């Protein structure tokens, strides 16, 4: 994701998801929220609203999990549906973070130019809440801007793509996804890999795009999304997703309503 010094601005958020059955990109009932949806729990991994809110979440890679944990995807939905600021909601989440398995949550309100990161890992630490600084950031299944090789690789590729475009903010979404998120290169250097799972499994998970493999069962990248918000308020949301073992794609474009942000200043 890229966060310019002054939001709203050409701001790009990208994320590949590698877990449950999902519903493709669409406006939800009521027409306020746009995004994909968890086909089981009803939450979301990346969604936005007509009035400038954006939220996305990743799970934290870990072995031990709470059996009766609440749905992490619901956190993003609550923020998008509610009226609290990004920081207010992040602090609320921090108070109840122990009820969830490990997560990283980004909350953004483009009208008020705010973006906040909250995580409940590592367990030993108190839930961490911080504002996201301007610049390019990468969020995977560890902390924001972690030193994982694929995180570094993705960040470098994003910077190279922006450099190639020569400051052109009109990035073709499909091209961006294909160049950045379809990378299947794996890391052979075991010492650089996370040591959460056995080495063979970590190797298969070390690529940006996680291909299905016997070692992973049904686990693999099911969808990849790209969200771009321009200074004009024009929003473009592109999604490439797997449905019945076939890859499909969809794009939705709309104009963000800035009135709320102006009224709240």
Residue 92 inside a domain? The answer is yes
Against a cut of 0.75, is the pTM above it?
yes
Provide Rg for the chain, Cα atoms.
18
- Cα–Cα distance for residue pair 204/215, rounded to 1 Å: 8
Instruction: Show pLDDT as tens, one digit a residue, over the chain (265 residues).
Output: 766 554 444 455 555 545 566 789 999 999 999 999 988 888 999 999 999 999 999 999 998 899 899 999 999 999 999 999 999 999 999 999 999 999 999 999 998 889 999 999 987 776 799 999 999 999 999 999 999 999 999 999 999 988 888 766 677 889 889 999 999 999 987 777 788 998 888 998 999 999 887 777 778 888 899 999 888 889 999 999 888 889 999 999 999 986 654 434 3
Nearest to 48 by CA among 212, 255, 215: 255
Beta carbons of 235 and 255 less than 8 angstroms apart: yes
- What six digits make up the tokens of 35? 């995004």
Counted domains in the chain? 1
**Whats the size of the chain, residue-wise?**
265
Coil, helix or strand at residue 146: coil
* Domain presence at residue 66: yes
- The CATH number linked to 101 is 3.60.60.10
Instruction: Cite the beta strand spans of 39-152 per DSSP E.
Output: 46-49, 53-59, 103-109, 114-119, 128-131, 135-136
Question: For residue 14, what are the domain limits?
Answer: 2-258
Any domain includes 91: yes
Residue 115 forms part of a structural domain: yes
CA 33 to chain centre: 16
Assess if residue 191 is contained within a domain: yes
In a domain, 265, yes or no: no
In a domain, 264, yes or no: no
Residue 117 burial (CB count, 10 A) = 22
117 close to 108: Cβ distance less than 8 angstroms: no
d(C-alpha 246, C-alpha 261), whole Å = 40
């Amino acid at each position: 994701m890229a966060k310019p010094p002054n939001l709203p601005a050409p701001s790009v958020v990208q994320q590949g998801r590698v877990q449950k059955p999902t519903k493709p990109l669409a406006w939800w009932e009521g027409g306020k929220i746009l995004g994909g949806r968890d086909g089981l729990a009803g939450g979301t991994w990346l969604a936005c609203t007509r009035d400038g809110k954006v939220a996305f979440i990743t799970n934290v890679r870990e072995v031990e999990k709470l059996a009766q944990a609440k749905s992490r995807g619901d956190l993003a939905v609550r923020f998008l549906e509610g009226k609290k600021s990004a920081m207010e909601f992040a602090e609320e989440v921090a108070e109840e973070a122990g009820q969830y398995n490990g997560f990283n949550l980004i909350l953004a309100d483009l009208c008020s130019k705010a973006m906040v990161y909250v995580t409940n890992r590592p367990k030993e630490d108190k839930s961490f809440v911080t504002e996201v600084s301007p610049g390019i950031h990468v969020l995977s299944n560890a902390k924001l801007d972690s030193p994982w090789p694929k995180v570094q690789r993705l960040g470098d590729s994003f910077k190279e793509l922006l450099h190639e475009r020569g400051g052109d903010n009109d990035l073709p979404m499909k091209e961006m996804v294909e160049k950045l998120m379809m990378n299947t290169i794996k890391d052979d250097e075991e010492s650089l890999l996370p040591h959460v799972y056995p080495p063979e499994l970590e190797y298969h998970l070390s690529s940006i795009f996680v291909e299905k493999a016997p070692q992973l069962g049904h686990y693999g990248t099911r969808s990849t999304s790209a969200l771009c918000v321009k200074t004009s308020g024009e929003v473009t949301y592109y999604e490439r997703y797997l449905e019945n073992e076939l890859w499909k794609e969809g794009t939705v474009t709309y104009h963000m309503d800035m009135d709320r942000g102006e009224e709240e200043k």
